[in-house]
Amino acid sequence: MQKHIPWVENLALQKIVDAKDNQKDWLVLEHLGLNELHPSLSELTSLLELYVIDNLLETIPAEILTLKQLTRLDLFYNHISEIPAEIGEFQQLTHLTLSANQLTSLPHEIGTLTRLTHLNLSSNPITSLPASIANLVELTHLDLSETAITSLPAALADLPKLSYLDLCHTPLSEQIPGLTRQTDPAVILSNLPAGTLI
């Protein structure tokens, strides 16, 4: 595994210490080439928003998994290939961004995030969603653009607040003429070919 250089590690630690000392409820660790996170991150018990963007994470580190109070978690543009079942313990999450990683699936436990309003899975090689996604009753935005998605849970059509569904540049988009990001999710779902809602 590639190691980041000391000054980068020190810069990340400085940001963590600053967030702790100033009791910040947000932290951005961006463009640092991190493949692991400093243990002190787990001490930020008042943190509500965490952005670990454009780094080299291959999994969600244990330090993040202790931050159950997070409302927003953004892991855009890393190398994450698997989401641990512990993600289901983040009961306060409203926004989860996992775009531009290497995910091929999601754990069943994603369905326990009943406060989630925004889920971004774009630019991943994911092919399907777990049926438990139907439990995300607060979900308004679901971005599956530029994925390998070939089917959707039929219960997705029953999500009461879903107002944005992006399937652009997916195998499914090729089967719906004129598909755009602005298309009503109900219209998209009702026009999917037989066999794609499972």
Residue 196 lies in a domain: no
Write the CB contacts of 97 (distance below 8 Å, at least 6 apart in sequence). 73, 74, 75, 76, 118, 120
pLDDT at 39 > cutoff 50: yes
Residue 81 inside a domain? The answer is yes
Distance CA 170, CA 166 (A): 9
In a domain, 173, yes or no: yes
Count structural domains, the chain.
Answer: 1
- Residue 16 belongs to what domain range? 6-190
Give a yes or no: residue 197 inside a domain: no
Choose the weakest-confidence range: 5-14, 20-29, 100-109, 156-165: 5-14
Pairing of strands 141-143, 118-120: parallel
Domain presence at residue 145: yes
Residue 198 lies in a domain: no
How far apart, in whole angstroms, are the C-alpha atoms of residue 73 and residue 80? 14
Residue 125 CB coordination number (10 Å): 14
Domain CATH for 136: 3.80.10.10
> What's the pTM value of the predicted model, to 2 decimals?
0.91
Instruction: Considering only CA atoms, give the Rg of the chain.
Output: 18
Percentage of the chain exceeding pLDDT 70 = 90
Q: Is 138 inside any structural domain?
A: yes
Is residue 115 situated within a structural domain?
A: yes
Model confidence over 58-85: pLDDT tens digits?
999 999 999 999 999 999 999 999 999 9
Query: What is the distance between the alpha carbons of residues 158 and 21, in angstroms, rounded to a whole number?
Result: 45
Question: Does residue 8 surpass a pLDDT of 70?
Answer: no
Distance CA 156, CA 79 (A): 28
